[in-house]
Amino acid sequence: MSGRGLTLYDIVDGLEALFDALDSPDGLDEDAAAMLDRYLEHELPAKVEGYCGVIANLEAHADGCKAQRQRFSEREKKAQHTVATMKRKLVEAMDRLGERRIQTEAFTVTTGDCPPRVVIDDEAALPPQMTEIRQTTHVDKKAIKALLRLGQDVPGARLEQGRTVRIK
């Protein structure tokens, strides 16, 4: 142990040995008592200081990572929104030009119909059998979609045909 500082493990091991010696019928000798004093007054507080400093730095680092994760999450949402907007505009432009497929050197762009989705314009106008009562009211869009596809009228709901673009 000489020539280098004691680690926290060294100190804990030394303290355990000293405390074990306290239980012996002879008790602590002068050297052991001096070592115990040194551990308790100098070595352990210095190591605890450094140890707690590392913990504080790691906690600050973790907080920084959390803040960075939140910033990246916001950036991800903005990027996803921009991508959706750009794809929608690409579909609109291709539709206006009557193009269903455009081949470039790097990409093949095709448009196609999305599966129809139910759009609820007025939930209160839906027939009761089209809703389920859960913790909150849940509109059974699958049942509404099935009826609308069969040509039946469902007050308060309609099918909407979306468009998508695939980029390969």
Q: How confident is the model at residue 84 (pLDDT cuts 50, 70, 90)?
A: very high
Q: Considering the domain boundaries, does residue 95 fall inside one? A: no
pLDDT of residue 136: 77
Number of structural domains, the chain? 2
pLDDT above 90 coverage of the chain, percent: 55
pLDDT of residue 108: 95
| Domain with 83 in it | 8-88
Amino acid (1-letter code) at residue 85: T
**Reported pTM:** 0.49
Q: Do 121 and 153 have their domain in common? A: yes
Show which of 46, 63, 88 is a domain's final residue. Answer: 88
Average of pLDDT values for 146-156?
95
Q: Do 54 and 75 have their domain in common? A: yes
Residues 6-64: tens digit of each pLDDT: 676 777 777 777 666 666 666 667 777 777 777 777 776 777 777 777 778 888 989 99
Q: Considering the domain boundaries, does residue 3 fall inside one? A: no
Q: Considering the domain boundaries, does residue 94 fall inside one? A: no
Q: Do 21 and 79 have their domain in common? A: yes
Q: Considering the domain boundaries, does residue 93 fall inside one? A: no
- Rounded CA-CA distance 76/78 in Å is 5
Instruction: For CA atoms 7, 12, 15, 20, give the dihedral sign.
Output: negative
Q: Do 111 and 161 have their domain in common? A: yes
Which range is least confidently modeled, 19-23, 79-83, 84-88?
A: 19-23
Q: Do 70 and 124 have their domain in common? A: no
pLDDT of residue 2: 46
Q: Do 34 and 12 have their domain in common? A: yes
Q: How distant is the alpha carbon of residue 126 from its chain centre? A: 36
Among the listed residues 139, 95, 87, 99, the one whose alpha carbon sits nearest the alpha carbon of residue 117: 139
Q: Are 142 and 117 a contacting pair, CB within 8 Å? A: no
Q: Do 106 and 69 have their domain in common? A: no
| Tokens 């794809």 sit on residue | 87
